[in-house]
Structure 1
Amino acid sequence: MDHQLLVFTTVVEKKNFSRAAEELHMTQPAVSQYIQSLEQQIGTRLLERSNKFVRLNMAGEIVYHHAKEILSHYTRMQYLVDDLMNKASGDLFIGASYSFGEYVLPGMISDLLENYPLIKPSITIRNSKRIVDLVVNNELEIGIVEGEFNQQSLNIEPFADDLMYVTMSANHRFANQSIVTKEELEAETWIVREEGSGTREATDKMFDRLQLNPQHKMEFGSTQVIKESVESGIGISLLSKWAIQRELSSGTLRLVEYEGLPVRRKFSIVTRTVPFQTKAMELFLKMLRDRYR
């Protein structure tokens, strides 16, 4: 591994030479020497230093970005070699959108660890657009997203169907109606996800397809918060069946019956185009595909 880059990125992230030295089990003069040597090779200063802080200058920003990518390739190379010799092990960086990440992924991770305890999964849950960005930037190995994306640098593989229902509180006035009209739906408060969310994309497409033009919308950044808001009677929302199974069983949430529902969408696996995959990554992808085949 390139120790100059490792020392440099550690100093940047710890924002302090002493803390970086402690993290790397080195002396502070040795850390300083590594930084000076790197700056000499690059041909310019990379860090602005004072008694209170260490921070990147513009050249340092460029070097830091590429150093993280280079170190990631070193780590991946080591895992691939280890996989040839040993059982599946090492870090596995997985990202998922909220609907899948909060309500489906935990059970899958539990199954993975039960069978392969040497794998160390790290989970990131964000909206679909953010997960795709993190895969593109080499910060995640696998993304699980909903919605449509067109990224030439990525493999996008649909693997599961999701049904989405308009959901209301069990005490909502619609619960006692056999028919809900278009006008009633448009007059209702709709609780929606933020832009960039696959659930928001599905909701907007549903509004267009059903020619609904709701006058009152509330925007939240979490499926769990939306679900709790619907339960409390604040409004209605389009939610994944995966997210509301427990509440439907307990009777705290109910489904709004309306022509054209439920909404069907695809969940997709997003990965970078790489010549090799770690065994941990291969095993998790196989688990995903087998479960929803």
Structure 2
Amino acid sequence: MDSHLRVFVTVAEKKNFSRTAEELHMTQPAVSQYIQALERTVGAKLIERNNKFVCLTKAGDIVYHHAKEIMGLYTHMQSLVDDLMQVASGNLSIGASYTFGEYILPHVIARLHGRYPLIQPTVTIGNTTEIAESVADRRLDVGIVEGEFNHERLNTESFAKDWMVIIVPADHPLTRQKEVTVPDLKKENWIVREKGSGTREATEKMFKKLGFTPDHLMEFGSTQLIKESVEAGLGISFLSNWAVRKEESLGTIHLLKMDGTPIPRKFTWITQDTPFQTKALEVFIDEMRRLETLFSTDDPRQ
């Protein structure tokens, strides 16, 4: 891999020549020389620098974006070549949306580590849109997102059923009603995830299916924050059964049962559109298929 690109990317991310030199075990003048040489090759100034900060120029933004992709391609190529002679090993960058990443993926990685201890996984958690973009830009080897998902630049495969449930505080008046109606739900304060998340998409589909729009809506960017807010009595929400199993077992939240719920959905894994996969990625996907029964749950009404 071109060392000039590696130095440039590190400067762009560290935003500091001294920290870059320390990270790459170089002298600071050497870092400056690499940047200057790259700027001469590209024919444009890439970095603005003064005593307080380092930032990219518009040309620098373009080079940074493509340099990251080039570095990812190089790493992928090297891993494929190494796999010809070695067992499954090396780095595996996994991205996952919040529900899968926080409540299911740890079980999968633990099983994977037991079978393939030489694989070194790193995990990035984000919403569905963020994870898909990272896989498409080759910053991640594989992503797992919530719901059905299609992308023209990615391979996708749906797997593993999940159930979305309405949750309310344990002492909420609706828990004592014999029958919960749509008007009951409409007037409640709903706490939902941000746009771009799979859970928000599932929530919007639920509103449409039941035929109402909430009178009051609060948007939070964390499933954990939503659960704690529901426990505190701030409102009600619609989350994965996997995400609320602990709270339900402790009796701090209640799963509201009414016609039309819970609603099933699928998780989807996404990979780059290429015929080549590293051995580490192959065995991870095999492990996901093998362990589908681990994170496929039955209808919580039963």
TM-score tier, shorter chain, comes to over 0.9
How far apart in 2 are the matches of 1:12 and 1:214? 44
Q: 1:199 is matched with which residue?
A: 199
Could you say which residue in structure 1 is the equivalent of 2:208? 208
The offset of 1:207, in angstroms, is 1.0
Q: Which residue of structure 2 aligns with residue 100 of structure 1? A: 100
**Match of residue 183 from structure 2:** 183
Quick one: which amino acid aligns to residue 81 of structure 2?
V
Report the equivalent of 2:284: 284
Question: 2:235 is matched by which residue type in structure 1?
Answer: G
Report the equivalent of 2:273.
273
Q: What do residues 186-228 of structure 1 show as CA deviations (whole Å, max 9, x unaligned)?
A: 1111111111111111111111111122211121111111111
1:23 Cα deviation after fit: 1.9
Report if aligned partners of 2:148, 2:158 keep a CA contact under 8 Å in 1. Answer: no
Q: Which amino acid aligns with 1:177?
A: Q
**Comparing 47-56 and 160-169, the one that deviates more:** 47-56
Against the structure 1 CA distance between its residues 34 and 128, is the aligned structure 2 distance closer, same or farther, given a 3 Å change threshold? Answer: same
1:134 aligned partner: 134
Write the distance in 2 (CA, Å) between the matches of 1:119 and 1:160.
Answer: 24
Partner of 2:152: 152
* 1:149 CA drift (Å): 3.3
2:21 match: 21
* Cα deviations by residue, 1:123-178 (Å, 9 ceiling, x for unpaired): 11111121112112221111111134331111111011111111112211111121
Equivalent-residue separation in structure 2 for 1:232 and 1:18 (angstroms): 47
Describe the SS at the equivalent of 1:269: strand
SS in 2 for 1:191: strand
CA distance in 2, matches of 1:34, 1:125: 33
- Mapped to 1, the partners of 2:222 and 2:33 lie a distance apart of 46
Q: Is the 8 A contact 1:189 1:234 kept in 2?
A: yes
The 3-state SS of whatever aligns with 2:124 is strand
- Native 8 Å contact 2:69 2:138 kept in 1: yes
Q: Which amino acid aligns with 1:106?
A: P
AA aligned to 2:150 is N
Q: Deviations over 1:39-97 (max 9, x none)?
A: 22222222223333332212222111111111111111121222222222221111111
| Alignment partners' CA distance in 1, 2:268 and 2:49 | 45
Is the contact made by 1:194 and 1:219 (CA closer than 8 Å) also made in structure 2? yes
Aligned partners of 1:48, 1:257: CA distance in 2, in Å? 59
Alignment of 1:1-293 (within 5 A): 1-292=1-292
Report how many residues are paired: 293
Q: Give the TM-score taking structure 1 as reference length.
A: 0.94
Amino acid at match of 2:109: I
Q: Are the counterparts in 1 of residues 148 and 267 from structure 2 also a CA contact under 8 Å?
A: no
Using the alignment, how far apart are the partners of 1:60 and 1:237 within structure 2?
43
Q: Determine the C-alpha separation between the residues in 1 that align with 2:165 and 2:17.
A: 54
SS of 2:159's equivalent? strand
Return the letter of the residue paired with 2:213. Answer: N
Structure-2 change in CA distance of 1:17 and 1:249 (3 Å):
closer
- The amino acid across from 1:113 in the alignment is H
SS in 2 for 1:238: strand
Amino acid at match of 2:186: E
Q: Aligned Cα RMSD in Å?
A: 1.6
Give the aligned residue type for 1:86: Q
Mapped to 1, the partners of 2:60 and 2:9 lie a distance apart of 10
Q: Which runs of 4+ in 1 moved over 4 A?
A: none
Any conservation in 2 of the 1:128–1:147 contact (CA below 8 Å)?
A: no
**Structure 2 residues not aligned, in runs of 5+:** 294-302
CA distance in 1, matches of 2:162, 2:258: 18
Q: TM-score, normalised by structure 2?
A: 0.91
- Measured in 2, the distance between the counterparts of 1:261 and 1:18 equals 56
